Chain A
Amino acid sequence: MATDNLVEISGVGYAYDKRRTILSDIDMKIPRGKVVAIMGISGSGKTTLLRLIAGWFKPTRGDIRVDGVLTRELDRDGLYSMRRRMGMLFQFGALFTDLSVYDNVAFQMREHTDLSESMIHDIVMMKLHAVGLRGAHHLMPSELSGGMSRRVALARAIALDPMLMMYDEPFTGLDPIALGVIRKLVRRLNDTLGSTSIIVTHDVQEALDIVDYVYYLSEGVMVAHGTPEEMRASTDPLVRQFVWGEADGPVAYQYPSRKFNEELELV
């Protein structure tokens, strides 16, 4: 039965083994049609959470439901059929380097559909047009800049009009213009395609402008959540340090070490 939330995560925990717990007791709801950010510093478990939603890993505890389906119970075929309705933008695009821009975008259509080549051509051109790169269809990935690669990867990810788009650090390593383009595209594609988006990022200001809701993770625990306005106004020291980029605070500037005077053998 369809609910208002496309993704529901309840009490999820994940650990590589007994000593390495990555996530604990995560509860999240991703409403349909919204753009939701999962934020946190590097190593806080954001990407692992994204991969749990995609069924890459199975949670050690708790349930994840995508479109009402419990991912833990899906077999390989079930998982693959769920992923056909998902799109993911990887941090550096992950374009297939032996295929042209055109063939990259056409990849999923050729693998999963019986569409004719002329139909595939039209859809590829539409998707590339949406990201402003219709004229670059003949280029190879090695001929693209970082921002262009990310846009082609975005066109590839939306090739089959996914119900859920996932972005893994989409703003990392881009120049301000490319960053602005990607930021606008994320929001515009979500609204025009009628999909739902999850953005995993630590680029706070870029993300806060375009998302509807924010979940903040720290060391594998959900420590805060709210609208972008609530996050900006938050008095929680951890959220404040993260949102305003303060060098020192609850997340210490110094890596745990001996006292400085002991290190320099002054005592």
Chain B
Amino acid sequence: MFNRGAIINIRGLGHRTIDSVMRFGYASRFFALTLLNSGACFRRPHLIVRELYYTGVQSMIIILVSGLFVGMVLGFQGYQTLNTYGSESALGVLVALSLVRELGPVVSGLLFASRAGSAMTAEIGLMKTTEQLSAMEMMAVDPIARVVAPRFWAGVVSMPLLAAIFSAMGVYGGYLIGVVLIGVDDGSFWSQMQSAVDFREDIVNGVIKSVVFGVAVTWIALFEGYDSPPTAEGVSGATTRTVVTSSLAILGLDFVLTAFMFRGI
């Protein structure tokens, strides 16, 4: 015989599972509606350009600084390890591959989720709370077409560009530490990097990852904002969920994508 507490726990688990599945279904429907209502913002590109400024350009500082520091740390750590085996000339390869394949898309994705994703959720959540979305609906303007779709495409376009900037800054940071500070040979740093980094296998795969992360983060951020309860507590909870869910989604998707792209066996 089950005791009463166990039954209540099982029932609670069932409710939570059903709620999660329903919410995922609602989010998928929201995603489909966003894609279906994207025509209007492509006809009025200034709507996307404006959002590109807020999501992309305004994330530049954090991406530039983080990229530079991650690259510099890679320069130190990479040199220390490679020096043990006498192959410090491969420092350029190590820095570039680490950044282009993994750190560029993943770290810039995490930073994008915290900087731009949380801002999107808070903005849309507050627009809902202050009835701005209702006012738009009342004026016969679809908020998904006017507010959500431009932000979605701006996020999808910004993310790979930010990841590329992050990687470029990281390579420069590695160069500063490896070549300028420690004195690794300049020529071998760049030439080994040039010969070892493959355009299709490394760069294109990195870009694919960053596009997927861009879609995931922007979708989560916009949905959380649109679905947030119209209260101060509701918006703050939605903003937190955006950062947590996006970060976990990036790490999970990175594993899946890397497994598919893996050619080692």
Contact = CB atoms under 8 A, between A and B. Distances in A.
Interface of A: 54, 56, 79-81, 83-84, 86, 88, 90-92, 94-97, 107-108, 111-112, 153
Interface range on chain B (Cβ under 8 Å from partner): 10 to 19
B103 to A, nearest CB: 34
Contacts of A95: 132
B138 A83 contact: yes
B140 interface: yes
B236 interface: no
B9 to A, nearest CB: 26
Nearest to B40: A111
7 contacts: A83-B139, A84-B140, A92-B130, A92-B131, A94-B131, A94-B134, A111-B139
A238 B140 CA distance: 38
Contacts of A107: 139, 141
Contacts of A112: 140-141
A154 B134 CA distance: 15
A58 to B, nearest CB: 15
Given A88-B135, A90-B135, A81 B140 contact: yes
The binding surface of chain B is classed by DSSP as helix
B134 A83 contact: no
Interface string B135-173: 111111110001000000000000000000000000000
Given A80-B140, A90-B131, A97-B132, 5 more contacts: A88-B135, A90-B134, A96-B132, A111-B139, A111-B140
Q: Which of A84, A88, A94, A112 has the most CB of B within 10 A?
A: A94
Contacts of B136: 96
A18 B138 CA distance: 28
Contact of A86 (B126, B135, B138): B138
B180 to A, nearest CB: 44
A10 B256 CA distance: 58
A83 B132 contact: no
A148 to B, nearest CB: 16
Contacts of B141: 107-108, 111-112
B118 to A, nearest CB: 17
B138 A54 contact: yes
Contacts of B146: 111
A51 to B, nearest CB: 9
Contact of B139 (A81, A91, A108): A108
A91 B131 contact: yes
A97 B130 contact: yes
A63 B126 CA distance: 34
Q: Which of A56, A86, A90, A112 has the most CB of B within 10 A?
A: A90
Interface in B23-37: none
B140 A83 contact: yes
Contacts of A111: 139-141, 146
Contacts of B126: 97
Contact of B132 (A56, A88, A94): A94
Contacts of B135: 88, 90, 94, 96, 153
Interface string B120-138: 0000001100111011111
A17 B75 CA distance: 63
Contacts of A83: 138-140
Contacts of A54: 138
Contacts of A96: 127, 132, 135-136
A56 B140 CA distance: 11
A186 to B, nearest CB: 17
A69 to B, nearest CB: 15
Contacts of B137: 56
Contacts of A84: 139-140
Interface in B61-110: none
A125 to B, nearest CB: 20
Nearest to B135: A94
Pairs of residues from A and B, 8 with the lowest C-beta to C-beta distance, nearest first: A80-B140, A94-B131, A94-B135, A83-B140, A88-B138, A84-B140, A90-B131, A111-B141
A79 B137 CA distance: 10
B114 to A, nearest CB: 21
A92 B230 CA distance: 14
Contacts of B130: 92, 94, 97
Nearest to B133: A94
Contacts of B138: 54, 56, 83, 86, 88
A153 B135 CA distance: 10
Contacts of B127: 96-97
A54 B127 CA distance: 20
